[in-house]
A and B are shown apart, each in its own frame.
Chain A
């Protein structure tokens, strides 16, 4: 595998992770709790798209957009029923509640669609193959959607009234109220944006592999890792964290640590090639998470506590 291919794979992975970790971090920022149900919403979105695409026969493009919107609304409804009652509760209590919501969502999905893998009805497309890399049209889409979502989010935050109000509410919720910003409206908008983006991420992952009720649980560690690495609550941190993690996961498996130990031939510590076994890929995000928490508990970009 060429280096270029590894870079491409890293960017694809980062795009998927960014779509998910961005929402996790903004929900944390405004609502002050770590939402363990976040990736489960992505699964719900992926299965919503499955209904539209496979059951109803809509093209995947429209299915994905409609499912993302529907899941955003679904998240607002769950908020009204569950989280709204806990606005003034301690973040730990809300976090545990979100764990309950996660279990409920995961098992509801399994009860409806079963535990066997499902796939979208997507026309098979030939990959683009060159001397150095190979990429499928879907993977190009993943990168494009990821990048577009990040740009859209930047524009939202800095150039729209809603986005500025979101930043204001994040900075100083009391003062935001004193400026006439109704906090609940911001909360509603944050849920919608966070969960729509997460759904797009879930759908793209489902398109690249397949749909499983447990896929949310499988991806929760890397998503939290990316968000925490960049500084929980900081949207640009979450993007950066996703990028770092995407590269770490792919280069972690690509690098021959045997050569590294021998300093590229200067030393002769080992004669064997040493690679991290593929099965340990999920462990990479764990290890990075632990190292970040030890060295920079507030993350690389860390959110400043200014008063």
Chain B
């Protein structure tokens, strides 16, 4: 069953149109990766789906419900989870407070329970629990960002370039964690990546976005072996 479907999305910032009719969908428990060159509109697409960017035309459907024009915080209560590329934590709040904020919409006992679970999934966060998030390393911040998003038990997790700015080792760790989350929690995951090998490796399907339009879509392993795509978007 399709959990999320974005159809013919035309969107942008005030008068600059960035997406010119993009369509994607996600099956339940599926992992997809969206790749494409800089400026292709990948982040904008994710922000449009989440409700940060105004959608001029097209629809976003969530489990059969039209959610095109809902605000981000309303989508959170529907089951959307989002980890932005920049500013993925609250820097002046402690690690623990970051997690509490992730569970803002949930009752207190549930939040406590979820925090325990987050510490199991991300042991490093337990060690740093009283530290301000601004003092964490890039990789740790990414972990905290994901842990915060998981606090609401979202059915869909959207990750905007989770490996951006990370060392190869940290980025490998992040993708192992994502694969682990998928295996343990069985959620739908949407990932945007520029350096897409690792991401496609853990995905079921992939999309290639160019100049605000769908360029190509296929099963992830087929994209990884497609010579043309490889040359054009995966750096040979």
Q: Do A175 and B90 have beta carbons less than 8 Å apart? A: yes
Q: Do A174 and B152 have beta carbons less than 8 Å apart? A: no
Q: Do B101 and A306 have beta carbons less than 8 Å apart? A: no
B192 interface hit (Cβ, 8 Å): no
- Residues of chain B touching chain A, judged by Cβ–Cβ distance below 8 Å, are 50, 52, 71-73, 76-77, 81-84, 86-93, 97, 100-102, 104-105, 134, 148-149, 151-152
Q: Do A179 and B91 have beta carbons less than 8 Å apart? A: no
Q: A165 contacts which of B84, B89, B91, B104 (Cβ < 8 Å)?
A: B104
Instruction: Report Cα–Cα, A49/B114, bound state, in Å.
Output: 47
Min C-beta distance of B106 to chain A, whole Å: 8
A271 interface hit (Cβ, 8 Å): no
| With known contacts A168-B101, A180-B152, A183-B73, A175–B89 Cβ distance under 8 A | yes
Q: B105 contacts which of A164, A170, A175, A180 (Cβ < 8 Å)?
A: A180
Q: Do B84 and A174 have beta carbons less than 8 Å apart? A: yes
| With known contacts A165-B101, A168-B93, A179-B101, A174–B148 Cβ distance under 8 A | no
Instruction: Report Cα–Cα, A182/B104, bound state, in Å.
Output: 10
Pick the 4 closest A-B CB pairs, nearest first. A180-B105, A180-B76, A177-B72, A306-B91
A5 interface hit (Cβ, 8 Å): no
Minimal Cβ-Cβ distance residue in A for B111:
A161
Q: Mark A173-205, 1 if CB is under 8 A from B, else 0.
A: 011111111110000000000000000000000
The residues of A that contact B151 with a CB separation of less than 8 Å are: 179
Q: Do B148 and A179 have beta carbons less than 8 Å apart? A: yes
Instruction: Report Cα–Cα, A172/B86, bound state, in Å.
Output: 10
Q: B84 contacts which of A164, A170, A175, A306 (Cβ < 8 Å)?
A: A175
Q: A164 contacts which of B76, B86, B101 (Cβ < 8 Å)?
A: B101
| With known contacts A164-B101, A168-B93, A180-B152, A174–B52 Cβ distance under 8 A | yes
| With known contacts A167-B92, A172-B90, A178–B104 Cβ distance under 8 A | no
**Residue among A165, A171, A178 facing the most chain B CB atoms (10 A cut-off):** A178
- Residues of chain A touching chain B, judged by Cβ–Cβ distance below 8 Å, are 161, 164-165, 167-168, 170-172, 174-183, 304, 306-307
Instruction: Report Cα–Cα, A171/B88, bound state, in Å.
Output: 11
Min C-beta distance of B34 to chain A, whole Å: 18
Q: B90 contacts which of A171, A177, A180, A182 (Cβ < 8 Å)?
A: A171
Q: Do B88 and A180 have beta carbons less than 8 Å apart? A: no
Instruction: Report Cα–Cα, A94/B62, bound state, in Å.
Output: 37
Min C-beta distance of B64 to chain A, whole Å: 22
The residues of A that contact B82 with a CB separation of less than 8 Å are: 178
Instruction: Report Cα–Cα, A306/B93, bound state, in Å.
Output: 12
Min C-beta distance of B45 to chain A, whole Å: 16
Can you pick out 13 interface pairs between chain A and chain B where the beta carbons lie within 8 Å of each other? A161-B100, A167-B93, A172-B89, A175-B88, A176-B90, A178-B84, A179-B73, A179-B102, A180-B73, A182-B71, A304-B92, A307-B87, A307-B91
Q: A177 contacts which of B71, B83, B88 (Cβ < 8 Å)?
A: B71
Q: Do A178 and B93 have beta carbons less than 8 Å apart? A: no
Min C-beta distance of B161 to chain A, whole Å: 14
Question: 4 other contacts beyond A174-B52, A179-B105, A180-B73, with CB at 8 A cut-off?
Answer: A172-B90, A178-B149, A179-B151, A304-B92
Min C-beta distance of B109 to chain A, whole Å: 14
The residues of A that contact B100 with a CB separation of less than 8 Å are: 161, 164
The residues of B that contact A183 with a CB separation of less than 8 Å are: 73
| With known contacts A179-B101, A180-B105, A307-B86, A171–B77 Cβ distance under 8 A | no
Min C-beta distance of A172 to chain B, whole Å: 5
Q: B76 contacts which of A168, A170, A178 (Cβ < 8 Å)?
A: A178
| With known contacts A178-B76, A178-B84, A179-B148, A167–B90 Cβ distance under 8 A | yes
The residues of A that contact B76 with a CB separation of less than 8 Å are: 177-180
The residues of A that contact B50 with a CB separation of less than 8 Å are: 178
Q: Do A171 and B148 have beta carbons less than 8 Å apart? A: no
Instruction: Report Cα–Cα, A306/B88, bound state, in Å.
Output: 11
Instruction: Report Cα–Cα, A171/B132, bound state, in Å.
Output: 12
**Residue among B50, B72, B100, B149 facing the most chain A CB atoms (10 A cut-off):** B72
The residues of B that contact A306 with a CB separation of less than 8 Å are: 91-92, 134
Q: B87 contacts which of A165, A172, A179, A180 (Cβ < 8 Å)?
A: A172
